[in-house]
Chain A
């Protein structure tokens, strides 16, 4: 009896050892398999570099850029936008009153006039919605004297769902509670924001009346009335990323002697200059290529800075909470109001 049990156990042990031995023999034979396993493991453990993330992000967060211009600027500003920051848009459209197919300029049929800027913008948004409304995630409006750093714009937009009714820019305060985004600094609206504007605002003279008011303020009024929330685009230190003036006026401290501190929505941060800045305004014609040189080609000797990753994408609940918070926000600016309004 004892002998039987002993033999059984012995058999078990021999069986296990034999299997292990055979396995070892197999692995030794197939070196390639062993190597490929190792390589696969190494590959799996690596995370994407910042450069790879940015390339991936280019197609993940698709931005259509809509640049408002006029015929006399086609051969100067339009050409330079197209050759510099405009190249980094997923789609670039110039809105004007004369067509130029070579440059990608569209005639929306609104004659050039200061008082027509709002009407021109409405036509532009209608055109973009009809032709590209479902093909892109975000829709950026810029002037032909705006410079936009598209990589940092995508970095800002990535956490948010383009099916949320949301838009970003440099927020101004005005007589209606949500305020509006500075036109010159550029603003970017989600796919749903553009949809709501076209389906529910433009055909409603109460929500979105046609008048001679300034384009950015009036669009802000329309967006508010169809439930599009004004998002906070500032960085972690509260610094503005969209700049409504040129860099000369915005650095190194917030300007105090013009209209901006009276009009801006959030309390100004004294020391300006966000590390992840997105746009500058009042860019002179030669400055487009200058920024391209200083920002993208000029190199400084030193150790590369630490790799950054993308901020986490907001889930449905988080996003809803954030939108509610932004929708209820009041201006924190303690300066006196601008008297004009």
Chain B
């Protein structure tokens, strides 16, 4: 009787041990199987490249579904397009409406926020404005004055920057916006390729194009054009020189548009004709000394090229926007940082006129929490966004 209970306990313990052993064994087997599958999968996926052609195995590489012909919406450029609004004012003439101007409309002009052709005849297909001035190269200054007055009267409110171009200039608007994004349109500033002659402060080459800030245009119209001692109203003179003189006279600063290497972004000639050596007339006109170590003329973030014919607009459009090289990514981002606003030039105008002009500008731009700057104390104030 005593032996029987002990025997039962032994049997039960034996069963427990057998179960334990089987459990461990089964678990190990399952684990090993799982690992085996995992290792196989890793081997298959280890190489991101297609198999080499030199191996006899002619397996095709794993292919992604081909990307659609329409690229995804360009978020960064779209944001820039709406944040840095540029009005493009193109000076043209009736005889070049359909040999030059129309091709701007079909190429780079499409990327302006607003495109206006300034001519002496209206043209519905082109959308040109008929200014009441005479044609001719010697009349370019009165034509430019009239164009700027028209833009100020009709489109000043809606845009931040005002670009002037000739009808043989090509602009890369994305690079222009990226450059301008770092600057404040409420500062009296303008940009282009700065030349050194005629005006002490320098002036911007007309052919390479130039861009005026909202404040610069405002000052020009309100303070400059109404004062013939600052802005001449004679019917002759070089457009870019006269404008440079005017803008300097109303305290608009000629900004530095060069890149980090000191290379020009606004190019007053075309690389299609002169590259990498610029034409002979260019170097003596430059306001800034060119970098010593560089044999290059042009920035890698170039903004404009001058002296292009209509055919060349399409060549540039194709090379810059359409042609893609496999493995080469030419798109840049992120945007350069905004620069701290500065007031390098002292304002030598009468305080009364300045204040009046400024108040007028504030009224035209209805914004909340606008602070009135106090010029007497020379403190710099910023407009709140």
The answer to whether A301 touches B19 (Cβ under 8 A) is no
Q: Contacts of A61 on B, CB cut-off 8 Å?
A: 53
B36-71 vs A, Cβ < 8 Å mask (1 yes, 0 no) = 000001100110111011000010111110110101
The answer to whether B331 touches A8 (Cβ under 8 A) is no
* A10 touches B (CB below 8 Å): yes
Q: Contacts of A275 on B, CB cut-off 8 Å?
A: 322-324
The answer to whether A308 touches B326 (Cβ under 8 A) is yes
The answer to whether A289 touches B315 (Cβ under 8 A) is no
The answer to whether B298 touches A293 (Cβ under 8 A) is yes
Interface range on chain B: under 10, 10 to 19, 20 to 34, or 35 or more? 35 or more
A-B contact pairs, 13 of them (CB 8 A): A14-B19, A14-B20, A14-B23, A16-B24, A19-B28, A54-B327, A151-B325, A252-B317, A274-B323, A286-B275, A305-B71, A309-B61, A310-B50
The answer to whether A301 touches B174 (Cβ under 8 A) is yes
Contact of A303 among B175, B271, B318, B333 (CB under 8 A): B333
Which residues of B come within 8 Å of A, CB atoms?
Answer: 8, 11-13, 15-28, 31, 41-42, 45-46, 48-50, 52-53, 58, 60-64, 66-67, 69, 71-72, 74-77, 80, 172, 174-175, 177-178, 271-276, 298, 300-302, 311-312, 314-333, 335
Q: Contacts of A298 on B, CB cut-off 8 Å?
A: 300-302, 320, 330
Distance between Cα atoms of A311 and B63 in the complex (Å): 7
* A40 touches B (CB below 8 Å): yes
Distance between Cα atoms of A281 and B219 in the complex (Å): 51
A137 to chain B, nearest CB (A): 8
The answer to whether B48 touches A48 (Cβ under 8 A) is yes
* A149 touches B (CB below 8 Å): yes
Given contacts A11-B23, A20-B27, A251-B311, contact A313 B53 (CB under 8 A): yes
Within 8 A of B (CB), among A237-277: 247-248, 251-252, 273-277
Distance between Cα atoms of A14 and B16 in the complex (Å): 9
The answer to whether A46 touches B48 (Cβ under 8 A) is yes
The answer to whether A15 touches B23 (Cβ under 8 A) is yes
For A15, A61, A312, which residue has the most chain B Cβ atoms within 10 angstroms? Answer: A15
* A297 touches B (CB below 8 Å): yes
Contact of A7 among B19, B178, B274, B318 (CB under 8 A): B19
* A316 touches B (CB below 8 Å): yes
The answer to whether A293 touches B271 (Cβ under 8 A) is yes
The answer to whether A302 touches B325 (Cβ under 8 A) is no
The answer to whether B323 touches A273 (Cβ under 8 A) is yes
* A55 touches B (CB below 8 Å): yes
Q: Contacts of B326 on A, CB cut-off 8 Å?
A: 50, 53-54, 57, 151-152, 154-155, 276, 308
The answer to whether B275 touches A313 (Cβ under 8 A) is no
The answer to whether A8 touches B15 (Cβ under 8 A) is yes
A84 to chain B, nearest CB (A): 12
Which residues of A come within 8 Å of B, CB atoms?
Answer: 3-5, 7-20, 23, 40-41, 43-48, 50-57, 60-61, 137, 149, 151-152, 154-155, 161-162, 236, 247-248, 251-252, 273-277, 286-287, 289-291, 293-313, 315-316
B69 to chain A, nearest CB (A): 8
Chain A to chain B: the 5 pairs with minimum beta-carbon distance, closest first = A11-B19, A15-B23, A54-B327, A19-B27, A7-B15
Interface of A: prevailing SS: helix
The answer to whether A55 touches B327 (Cβ under 8 A) is yes
The answer to whether B320 touches A149 (Cβ under 8 A) is no
Nearest CB to that of A247 among chain B residues?
B315
User: How many pairs of A and B residues are in contact by the CB < 8 Å rule?
Assistant: 240
Q: Contacts of A57 on B, CB cut-off 8 Å?
A: 326-327
Q: Contacts of A15 on B, CB cut-off 8 Å?
A: 19-27
A256 to chain B, nearest CB (A): 15
Q: Contacts of B275 on A, CB cut-off 8 Å?
A: 286-287, 289-290, 293
Nearest CB to that of A300 among chain B residues?
B174
The answer to whether B175 touches A290 (Cβ under 8 A) is no
B26 to chain A, nearest CB (A): 7
Contact of B16 among A7, A149, A248, A316 (CB under 8 A): A7
A163 to chain B, nearest CB (A): 10
Distance between Cα atoms of A287 and B312 in the complex (Å): 13
Q: Contacts of A289 on B, CB cut-off 8 Å?
A: 275-276
Distance between Cα atoms of A313 and B58 in the complex (Å): 8
The answer to whether B19 touches A9 (Cβ under 8 A) is yes
The answer to whether B53 touches A305 (Cβ under 8 A) is no
Q: Contacts of B302 on A, CB cut-off 8 Å?
A: 298
B121 to chain A, nearest CB (A): 26
Distance between Cα atoms of A149 and B300 in the complex (Å): 19
Distance between Cα atoms of A233 and B258 in the complex (Å): 42
Q: Contacts of B60 on A, CB cut-off 8 Å?
A: 312-313, 315
Contact of B19 among A8, A20, A311, A315 (CB under 8 A): A8
Q: Contacts of B332 on A, CB cut-off 8 Å?
A: 299-302
Given contacts A154-B326, A305-B331, contact A16 B12 (CB under 8 A): no
A319 to chain B, nearest CB (A): 9
Beyond contacts A290-B275, A295-B323: 8 other A-B pairs, Cβ-Cβ < 8 A, are: A17-B23, A18-B24, A149-B325, A248-B315, A302-B77, A305-B331, A309-B64, A315-B58
